Amino acid sequence: MTFASLGLIDPLLRALDVLEYKTPTPVQSQAIPAILNGRDLMAAAQTGTGKTAGFALPMMQRLTAAATVVASNSVLALVLVPTRELAEQVHQSFRAYGQYLPLRTYAIYGGVAINPQMMKLRKGIDVIVATPGRLLDLHRQNAVKFDQLQILVLDEADRMLDLGFARELDAVFAALPKKRQTLLFSATFSDAISKMAARVLHDPLSIEASPRNTAARSVKQWVIPVDKKNKADLFSHLLRTRRWGQVLVFVKTRKGVEQLVQTLLAQRISADSIHGDKPQAARQRALDSFKAGAVQILVATDVAARGLDIDDLPLVVNFDLPIVAEDYIHRIGRTGRAGATGEAISLVCADEVDLLAAIETLTRATLPREEEEGFEPDHRVPLTNAAGQVVKKPKKPKKPKVFAAPAKTATKLAAKPAARRRAR
């Protein structure tokens, strides 16, 4: 199948040529014709499936065909995303795919000055990629109006709900024209997402680009059991002995992120971080330097887990396991993208066994374990079984109490626990 056979117009095909996209990915071949036909869409698609082009290409084509003159402070298409980084990234994709089209696109998000955004909106914009909070701020101040809105995209809808944007999303829905095309992309479909989909989508086409809740197959995943206090040493040891190149490392807390970065910097290893406490500009700088290869280790909280598209990332390390099992899938989705193979290694301590079990339940697979010589844990990580459950240690049979009873009875009592043990 080719992009031309999906009915895309020449300026888009030329851009795809420049980007060297030869064949549509499965989500693109399903989504593009449906969106071109004006259908609403509900897509189970993770990042790495090519979903951004899957919605951006047909959207731009429809906007071009409609040739609506955008009024000042108005917008024709709105893409809502959970994080600032993703807003920038999706916006860059629109720019790349639309390089031969006269469409105006813009990204708006919080954490940066609002005035330049207000100025930019004055002329009217064809496509805005936005995080919900800042968009609503601008809407309340009349800097952006939705009367002309034709297309709404909810990208990473599950993540938006996880991050607590439900109320903001409702406020945006209430402000939009009822007659519009709506496209919803989500890696997972919880009850909350399904309910939202039922409310905002009209007769949607459902597509599933990759099986729900399964981790990418091309990613080799394994666990190294280790004591909590030795995790940082183990990480430095692996980095050295296995000659790792660039690594994206996930740590549970912001404080933990900074501690690891400091430890690495003290060892003259180039490292930077992204987490919610950092100003947006610093977050973007860290990400850009990592993407450019100037920084070897990027340490992040789950803020960075979704959506970020980092080319050819060979390795993701879970320094801590995520609290929400689904985040595991998003984290390791940063590697093994677009057919490349990747590795995802989790450093797991005894405290985290329940989190490990939850991940194994979700992915329906037991993660192989490999201890690292010199780092074998004192506190053993209990075994988990294929169903992702922690295997309880068999209770030691109680020693039978032997009373001063006739020899025959005492033998009988002593035999009982052993028989029970066998029956277990």
Among 88, 156, 272, 309, the residue binding ligand AMP under the rule CB under 6 A is 309
Enumerate the β-bridge partners of residue 207. Answer: 43
Interacting residues of 368 by C-beta distance below 8 A, sequence separation 6+: 221, 222, 223
What DSSP line would sit under 5-67, residue for residue?
GGT--HHHHHHHHHTT--S--HHHHHHHHHHHTT--EEEE--TTSSHHHHHHHHHHHHHHHHT
Rank residues 270 and 284 by Cβ distance to ligand AMP and give the closer one.
Answer: 284
CB of 4 to ligand AMP, least distance (A): 13
Rank residues 342 and 388 by Cβ distance to ligand AMP and give the closer one.
Answer: 342
Among 6, 15, 34, 49, the residue binding ligand AMP under the rule CB under 6 A is 49
- 343 DSSP assignment: E
Between residue 116 and residue 155, which ones bind ligand AMP under the rule CB under 6 A? Answer: none
Rank residues 89 and 117 by Cβ distance to ligand AMP and give the closer one.
Answer: 89
CB of 21 to ligand AMP, least distance (A): 4
Between residue 63 and residue 82, which ones bind ligand AMP under the rule CB under 6 A? Answer: none
Enumerate the β-bridge partners of residue 249. Answer: 299, 317
Among 25, 150, 230, 363, the residue binding ligand AMP under the rule CB under 6 A is 25
List strands edge to edge, sheet with 247-250.
219-225, 342-348, 315-318, 247-250, 297-300, 271-274
Q: Give the span between the Cα atoms of 224 and 210, in whole angstroms.
A: 28
Binding piece for ligand AMP, criterion CB under 6 A, among 23-31, 243-251, 321-329, 347-355? 23-31
Query: DSSP 3-state assignment of 207?
Result: strand
Q: Give the span between the Cα atoms of 106 and 72, in whole angstroms.
A: 14
21 binds ligand AMP (CB under 6 A): yes
168 binds ligand AMP (CB under 6 A): no
User: φ, ψ for residue 29 (rounded to 5)?
Assistant: -70, -25
Q: Give the span between the Cα atoms of 368 and 384, in whole angstroms.
A: 10
CB of 324 to ligand AMP, least distance (A): 21
Give CA torsion, residues 49, 296, 84, 88, to 10 deg.
Answer: -60
Among 48, 322, 333, 388, the residue binding ligand AMP under the rule CB under 6 A is 48
Q: Are 171 and 138 in contact (CB under 8 A)?
A: no
52 binds ligand AMP (CB under 6 A): yes
Give the length of the chain: 424
Between residue 336 and residue 365, which ones bind ligand AMP under the rule CB under 6 A? Answer: 337-338
Q: Are 296 and 271 in contact (CB under 8 A)?
A: yes
4 binds ligand AMP (CB under 6 A): no
Rank residues 91 and 231 by Cβ distance to ligand AMP and give the closer one.
Answer: 91
CB of 203 to ligand AMP, least distance (A): 25
Among 32, 53, 76, 325, the residue binding ligand AMP under the rule CB under 6 A is 53
CB of 306 to ligand AMP, least distance (A): 10
Q: Give the span between the Cα atoms of 216 and 358, in whole angstroms.
A: 17
375 binds ligand AMP (CB under 6 A): no
Pattern 256-295, binding to ligand AMP, x per CB under 6 A? ----------------------------------------
Rank residues 20 and 370 by Cβ distance to ligand AMP and give the closer one.
Answer: 20
Rank residues 25 and 61 by Cβ distance to ligand AMP and give the closer one.
Answer: 25
User: φ, ψ for residue 315 (rounded to 5)?
Assistant: -145, 130
Rank residues 79 and 169 by Cβ distance to ligand AMP and give the closer one.
Answer: 79
Residues that bind ligand AMP (CB under 6 A): 21, 24-25, 28, 47-53, 309, 337-338
